[in-house]
Amino acid sequence: MTPLDDAAGMPAAFEAAPELRAAGLRVTAQRAAVLEALHASPHAAVDLLHAAVRERVPGIALQTVHGVVNDLTDAGLIRRVSLPGAPSALYELHHVDDNHHHVQCISCGRVEDVECAVGAAPCLHPSHDHGMRVLEANVTFRAICAECERNQQ
Protein backbone atom coordinates (compact mmCIF):
# COMPACT_ATOMS: atom_id res chain seq x y z
CA MET A 1 0.00 0.00 0.00
CA THR A 2 1.38 3.44 -0.93
CA PRO A 3 0.62 6.86 0.60
CA LEU A 4 -1.73 7.32 -2.35
CA ASP A 5 -3.89 4.32 -1.38
CA ASP A 6 -6.80 4.30 1.03
CA ALA A 7 -7.38 1.62 3.69
CA ALA A 8 -8.90 -0.73 1.10
CA GLY A 9 -5.84 -0.39 -1.16
CA MET A 10 -7.72 1.71 -3.73
CA PRO A 11 -6.23 4.95 -5.05
CA ALA A 12 -7.31 7.79 -2.79
CA ALA A 13 -9.06 10.84 -4.23
CA PHE A 14 -6.64 13.65 -4.93
CA GLU A 15 -7.35 17.35 -4.83
CA ALA A 16 -4.56 19.61 -5.99
CA ALA A 17 -5.87 22.95 -4.71
CA PRO A 18 -5.41 22.26 -0.97
CA GLU A 19 -1.92 20.88 -1.64
CA LEU A 20 -0.93 23.98 -3.59
CA ARG A 21 -2.31 26.34 -0.93
CA ALA A 22 -0.59 24.43 1.89
CA ALA A 23 2.71 24.85 0.02
CA GLY A 24 2.12 28.59 -0.30
CA LEU A 25 1.50 28.46 -4.04
CA ARG A 26 -1.27 30.18 -5.95
CA VAL A 27 -3.76 27.70 -7.39
CA THR A 28 -3.66 27.79 -11.19
CA ALA A 29 -5.20 25.45 -13.74
CA GLN A 30 -1.70 24.51 -14.95
CA ARG A 31 -0.36 23.62 -11.49
CA ALA A 32 -3.49 21.70 -10.54
CA ALA A 33 -3.42 19.77 -13.82
CA VAL A 34 0.25 18.79 -13.38
CA LEU A 35 -0.29 17.60 -9.81
CA GLU A 36 -3.36 15.62 -10.81
CA ALA A 37 -1.52 14.11 -13.78
CA LEU A 38 1.27 12.98 -11.45
CA HIS A 39 -1.29 11.45 -9.11
CA ALA A 40 -2.67 9.46 -12.05
CA SER A 41 0.76 8.57 -13.50
CA PRO A 42 3.54 8.45 -10.92
CA HIS A 43 7.10 8.48 -12.26
CA ALA A 44 6.18 10.58 -15.29
CA ALA A 45 8.56 12.51 -17.50
CA VAL A 46 7.70 16.10 -18.43
CA ASP A 47 6.67 15.14 -21.99
CA LEU A 48 4.12 12.65 -20.61
CA LEU A 49 2.85 15.26 -18.16
CA HIS A 50 2.57 17.77 -21.00
CA ALA A 51 0.43 15.35 -23.03
CA ALA A 52 -1.84 14.66 -20.04
CA VAL A 53 -2.16 18.32 -19.06
CA ARG A 54 -2.92 19.40 -22.65
CA GLU A 55 -6.20 17.51 -22.40
CA ARG A 56 -7.29 19.75 -19.50
CA VAL A 57 -5.47 22.94 -20.46
CA PRO A 58 -5.50 23.13 -24.28
CA GLY A 59 -2.62 25.06 -25.79
CA ILE A 60 -0.32 24.75 -22.78
CA ALA A 61 3.31 24.88 -23.90
CA LEU A 62 5.88 22.26 -22.97
CA GLN A 63 8.02 25.04 -21.50
CA THR A 64 5.14 26.03 -19.21
CA VAL A 65 4.94 22.46 -17.90
CA HIS A 66 8.71 22.57 -17.27
CA GLY A 67 8.21 25.79 -15.29
CA VAL A 68 5.33 24.29 -13.28
CA VAL A 69 7.38 21.17 -12.51
CA ASN A 70 10.24 23.37 -11.28
CA ASP A 71 7.86 25.41 -9.08
CA LEU A 72 6.27 22.28 -7.62
CA THR A 73 9.68 20.72 -6.97
CA ASP A 74 10.94 23.90 -5.26
CA ALA A 75 7.79 23.94 -3.10
CA GLY A 76 8.37 20.32 -2.04
CA LEU A 77 5.14 18.99 -3.59
CA ILE A 78 6.89 16.77 -6.11
CA ARG A 79 10.36 15.36 -6.41
CA ARG A 80 12.65 14.59 -9.27
CA VAL A 81 13.67 10.98 -9.70
CA SER A 82 16.82 10.43 -11.73
CA LEU A 83 17.27 6.79 -12.66
CA PRO A 84 20.13 5.08 -14.49
CA GLY A 85 19.45 4.65 -18.18
CA ALA A 86 16.26 6.75 -18.12
CA PRO A 87 16.15 9.13 -21.11
CA SER A 88 14.96 12.00 -18.89
CA ALA A 89 14.14 12.80 -15.29
CA LEU A 90 10.92 11.45 -13.88
CA TYR A 91 8.72 13.14 -11.30
CA GLU A 92 6.54 11.84 -8.50
CA LEU A 93 4.41 13.31 -5.75
CA HIS A 94 6.40 13.97 -2.59
CA HIS A 95 4.87 13.01 0.73
CA VAL A 96 6.33 14.03 4.09
CA ASP A 97 8.09 11.12 5.80
CA ASP A 98 7.82 9.03 2.64
CA ASN A 99 11.22 7.47 2.20
CA HIS A 100 10.88 4.84 -0.49
CA HIS A 101 13.05 3.43 -3.23
CA HIS A 102 12.43 2.32 -6.80
CA VAL A 103 12.62 -0.83 -8.86
CA GLN A 104 13.22 -0.21 -12.56
CA CYS A 105 12.92 -2.65 -15.46
CA ILE A 106 16.09 -2.41 -17.54
CA SER A 107 14.19 -3.51 -20.64
CA CYS A 108 10.98 -1.45 -20.80
CA GLY A 109 11.88 1.22 -18.22
CA ARG A 110 8.82 0.63 -15.99
CA VAL A 111 9.35 2.10 -12.52
CA GLU A 112 7.59 1.09 -9.32
CA ASP A 113 7.93 2.19 -5.70
CA VAL A 114 9.33 -0.18 -3.07
CA GLU A 115 9.42 0.31 0.67
CA CYS A 116 12.64 1.11 2.52
CA ALA A 117 15.33 -1.49 2.15
CA VAL A 118 15.78 -2.03 5.90
CA GLY A 119 14.35 -0.26 8.94
CA ALA A 120 13.46 3.39 9.30
CA ALA A 121 14.68 6.31 7.22
CA PRO A 122 17.30 6.78 5.90
CA CYS A 123 17.26 2.96 5.44
CA LEU A 124 20.93 2.57 4.71
CA HIS A 125 23.93 3.81 6.61
CA PRO A 126 27.21 4.51 4.84
CA SER A 127 30.39 2.82 6.04
CA HIS A 128 31.71 6.32 6.86
CA ASP A 129 29.61 9.48 7.05
CA HIS A 130 32.60 11.88 7.05
CA GLY A 131 30.95 13.86 9.85
CA MET A 132 27.69 14.39 7.94
CA ARG A 133 24.19 13.57 9.18
CA VAL A 134 22.57 11.35 6.54
CA LEU A 135 19.12 12.61 5.53
CA GLU A 136 18.16 10.06 2.93
CA ALA A 137 19.44 7.17 0.87
CA ASN A 138 18.37 6.76 -2.74
CA VAL A 139 18.32 3.21 -3.97
CA THR A 140 17.27 1.96 -7.39
CA PHE A 141 16.88 -1.75 -7.86
CA ARG A 142 17.51 -2.63 -11.52
CA ALA A 143 15.45 -5.60 -12.68
CA ILE A 144 13.57 -7.17 -15.56
CA CYS A 145 9.79 -7.14 -15.23
CA ALA A 146 7.86 -10.36 -15.79
CA GLU A 147 6.36 -9.15 -19.09
CA CYS A 148 9.74 -8.25 -20.58
CA GLU A 149 11.21 -11.53 -19.41
CA ARG A 150 8.37 -13.46 -21.10
CA ASN A 151 8.98 -11.48 -24.32
CA GLN A 152 12.69 -12.36 -24.26
CA GLN A 153 12.05 -16.10 -24.22
Residue 108 assigned as binding residue: yes
Residue 9 has pLDDT above 70, yes or no: no
- Per-residue pLDDT tens for 29-76? 999 999 999 999 989 999 999 999 999 999 999 999 999 999 999 999
Residue 8: which H helix or E strand, with range?
none
Is the confidence at residue 6, as pLDDT, over 70? no
What pLDDT is stored for residue 28 in this prediction? 95
Task: Say if residue 123 carries a ligand binding annotation.
Answer: no
**Across-strand partners of 111?**
104
The whole-angstrom separation of Cα 144 and Cα 153 is 13
What's the pLDDT at 126? Answer: 73
Give the model's confidence band at 80: pLDDT under 50 very low, under 70 low, under 90 confident, else very high. very high
Predicted confidence band of residue 97 (pLDDT cuts 50, 70, 90): low
Domain edges within the chain: 16-92, 99-152
Q: Would you state the CATH architecture of domain 99-152? A: 2-Layer Sandwich (3.30)
145 carries a ligand binding annotation:
yes
* C-alpha radius of gyration, the chain, whole number: 17
pTM: 0.73
Query: b/e string for 47-71 if b means 16 or more Cβ within 10 A?
Result: ebbbebbbeebeebeeeebeebbeb
Architecture of domain 16-92: Orthogonal Bundle (1.10)
- The predicted-structure confidence for 104-136, as pLDDT tens digits, reads as follows 888 888 888 887 766 555 566 777 778 888 777
67 or 82, greater pLDDT: 67
